[in-house]
Amino acid sequence: MKISTLSALVVVTSLAASSGVLAQDVAAGKTSFNKCLACHAIGEGAKNKVGPVLNGLDGRKSGTIEGYSYSEANKNSGITWGKDVFLEYIKDPKAKIPGTKMIFAGIKNEKEANDLWAYVSSFDKDGKQK
């Protein structure tokens, strides 16, 4: 391989890394989301299930999906969803929101939780992938 091709590759790779989200993280997150699917829908046409729709979660205030009946705990948690708070929550939902009605043990593996966020946060509020 020529040096010029090689350095072009290096640039492309580092650009992708600096955006912080890689396609393979999103793909891994999609697989991990199978653990959420029993209760949550995401994507175009998603409807509330046992849990609320998760479209547009990045920047969304907790407990604000219309037509979903939240627990007081979730509604009043004061959380605005973003990466850091999501990672804290998903590790152990009951610890972050005591009294939540989300019955889920949590995802302890940091890589998996990060991939899950990459996937979930890739959907805008209309369920389109950004």
Q: Which residues bind ligand HEC (CB under 6 A)?
A: 35-36, 38-40, 50-52, 54, 57, 62-63, 65, 70-71, 73-74, 81, 90, 100-104, 107, 116, 120
CA dist 31 and 33 (Å) reads: 5
Q: Read off the amino acid at residue 36.
A: C
Specify the residue, 22 or 83, whose C-beta has the smaller distance to ligand HEC: 83
User: Based on CB atoms, which residue is closest to ligand HEC, 61 or 128?
Assistant: 61
CA pair distance 25, 19, nearest whole angstrom? 12
User: Which of 11, 27 has the CB closer to ligand HEC?
Assistant: 27
Contact between 39 and 48 under an 8 Å Cβ cutoff? The reply is no
CB 19 within 8 Å of CB 122: no
Tell the smallest beta-carbon distance from residue 28 to ligand HEC (Å).
13
Q: Could you tell me the smallest distance in angstroms from the CB atom of residue 118 to ligand HEC?
A: 12
Rounded Cα distance, 6 and 16, in Å: 16
Closest by CA to 97, choosing from 109, 86, 107, 111, is 86
Nearest distance in Å: CB 111, ligand HEC: 14
125 within 8 A of 52, measured Cβ to Cβ: no
In the complex with ligand HEC, the residue whose CB is nearer, 22 or 91, is: 91
Q: How far is the CB of 20 from ligand HEC (least distance, A)?
A: 19
